[in-house]
A and B are shown apart, each in its own frame.
Chain A
Amino acid sequence: MNFNGKVAVVTGGATGIGRAIALKLADKGAAVMIADINEKAAETTAAEVKEISGNSAIFVTDVTNVAACEGLSQATIDSIGPADFLVNNAGIAGSPGWQTRSHSTEEDWKQTYQVNVIGVANVTTVFRAQMTERRSGRIVNLSSIAGREGRPSLPHYSASKAAVISLTQSTALELARFNITVNAICPGLLWTPMWEQVGSRYANDVPAYEGMTPRQVFDTMVAEKIPMQKEQTPEDIADTVAFFVSDDAKNITGQTLNVDGGFYMR
């Protein structure tokens, strides 16, 4: 697996899972555009990428803003070239303060959809031209096992991630004739800043987790729900992204793969 000369764009690429994906693609030789709303963190990750593959760029991007996405597309071409791989990773779990609320508000629904679903559509729309023109491209969308079935908390998040799976399938069908594959990954339980907040909401919301610290909620869920009895890591997700964008997966499209230690089998 060799991505020398390839150009990758990772949204939300500055931190967490997105950062691990950026570093993995760089490790295989790709130039990586870090598109993130957090400029400082993006610069740090871009510097790490540059150390590894020699080529990176950043663009401060709010994926909910179409003009910003268009700027990202142009900035990618100008700095490192037209995109071969697009990884739609940027995501949120609610509107500010969601982890302290026991019920989803209208703002939670709106903002989560805006970033997790419409954000994916926005970024895909601006990059598809670069890919269709060259009759080649790989898109990987980050969904979640929360999108595989309803959960006892965070309905707005689960529904948005279910929408990502559906969007992945539609985009796969739409772009197949241009030799562009579109697949999704559903990460399982990863100890990220977002999960720390999920844990605190579950401790408030779900009777079984009452009074626990976020990490205790997390460990309990790993022990109870994950057959492999291990948490997943950003590197696990990054390895699967690398597979989907490689030539090895050229005839795989429209699929959603759970990377979750067996939490959910479908």
Chain B
Amino acid sequence: MEFESKTVIVTGGAKGLGRGIALELARRGANVIVADIDGESAKSVVTEIKAGGAQSYFCETDVTQQWSTDDMVETALEEFGQLDVLVNNAGVGGSPGFITRKTATVEDWQSTFDVNVFGIVNGTQSVEKYMIDRGYGKIVNIASIAGRTGRAGFATYGASKAAAINVSQAWAFKLAPHGINVNAVCPGMIWTPLWENLAEWRKLTDQQNVGMTPRQVFQRTISELVPLGREQTPEDVGNAVAFLASDRARSITGQALNVDGGIRMN
């Protein structure tokens, strides 16, 4: 298996996309550190991974704190002796209650950037010295097609994901001479807890969505936006992450790949 004896960290690995990525990499043989603030959900992912035959470990991690991501990397090295891949996946749509607000507050901006941007920076800074010393490493950051262009509404999230792409490029340049690849994946329409929240928010901000269930808002958006006509899945994103984190992508760095059924073409 491609990731046999490799160790990966997936931040935000307890739920949604992160869970899909963690399971996909485990299916390919990786030892997985599930780094999340939500211990209960993370532990159930760990159990699921172990049931599939791979090694896994939960590390309670708050990516907005550098000491916490330092601790996360230390845990990976203690448990598995090496670290090959960091997937910076943890993300939020706003500060608590954002789905009830039509207009983002200062706190929404702050917590979105704290997690979606500084979370990537912290994780990367915690791991880069080890990877540079080793002359090997793969970092994959989860951005979003929302980061490809500004749109009316949800500017907090879009701007933070644009920053995630830019940060990926910055570290790709910095770490390239050391044999470390840094890339981003931009997921499209994926039915996750985050999208469920977003659907609630869209009911507030777009009359056409009133009276629909969150899932109906999601389906409607798919039929309007996705050329391939279907939703994307956490497994799709996990597969793209697996490619970029593998040696098959050894000459790819600084790129952002849309996994979005053709919504945005870059």
Q: Which of B3-11, B30-38, B51-59, B171-179 contacts A (4 or more CB under 8 A)?
A: B171-179
Contacts of B176 in A (CB 8 A): 226-229, 261-262
- Which residue from B169, B177, B232, B254 sits with its C-beta under 8 Å from A251? B232
- The range of chain A's interface size is 35 or more
Once the chains bind, are B261 and A251 in contact (CB under 8 Å)?
yes
Once the chains bind, are A249 and B240 in contact (CB under 8 Å)?
yes
A169 to B177, CA, bound (A): 33
Q: Does A259 make an interface contact (CB < 8 A)?
A: yes
Q: Does B207 make an interface contact (CB < 8 A)?
A: no
With A176-B262, A249-B239, A251-B232 known as contacts, the answer to whether A257 contacts B252 (CB < 8 A) is yes
Query: Closest chain A residue to B263 by CB distance?
Result: A254
Once the chains bind, are B236 and A250 in contact (CB under 8 Å)?
yes
Once the chains bind, are B172 and A253 in contact (CB under 8 Å)?
no
A226 to B172, CA, bound (A): 11
Once the chains bind, are B262 and A259 in contact (CB under 8 Å)?
no
A249 to B240, CA, bound (A): 7
- 6 A-B pairs with the lowest CB-CB distances in the bound complex, closest first: A227-B176, A176-B227, A248-B239, A254-B265, A265-B254, A239-B248
Once the chains bind, are B266 and A248 in contact (CB under 8 Å)?
no
Residues on B facing A (Cβ under 8 Å): 169, 172-173, 176-177, 179, 181, 188, 227-230, 232-233, 236, 239-240, 242-243, 248-255, 257-262, 265-266
Once the chains bind, are B265 and A255 in contact (CB under 8 Å)?
yes
Contacts of B250 in A (CB 8 A): 236
Q: Does A204 make an interface contact (CB < 8 A)?
A: no
A149 to B244, CA, bound (A): 24
Interface centre among A168, A177, A251, A252 (most CB of B within 10 A): A251
- Which residue from B173, B188, B232, B258 sits with its C-beta under 8 Å from A262? B173
Once the chains bind, are B172 and A248 in contact (CB under 8 Å)?
no
Contacts of B232 in A (CB 8 A): 251
Query: Closest chain A residue to B189 by CB distance?
Result: A251
Once the chains bind, are A179 and B228 in contact (CB under 8 Å)?
yes
Q: Does A173 make an interface contact (CB < 8 A)?
A: yes
Once the chains bind, are B265 and A251 in contact (CB under 8 Å)?
no
Once the chains bind, are A188 and B251 in contact (CB under 8 Å)?
yes
With A173-B227, A252-B258, A257-B255 known as contacts, the answer to whether A265 contacts B249 (CB < 8 A) is no
Once the chains bind, are B229 and A176 in contact (CB under 8 Å)?
yes
Q: Does A73 make an interface contact (CB < 8 A)?
A: no
Contacts of B179 in A (CB 8 A): 228
Query: Closest chain A residue to B253 by CB distance?
Result: A262
Can you pick out 8 interface pairs between chain A and chain B where the beta carbons lie within 8 Å of each other? Answer: A172-B227, A176-B261, A228-B179, A240-B249, A251-B230, A251-B261, A255-B266, A261-B251
A177 to B229, CA, bound (A): 7
Q: Which A residues, 162 to 194, have Cβ-Cβ distances below 8 Å to chain B?
A: 168-169, 172-173, 176-177, 179, 181, 188
A137 to B248, CA, bound (A): 22
Contacts of A257 in B (CB 8 A): 252, 255, 257
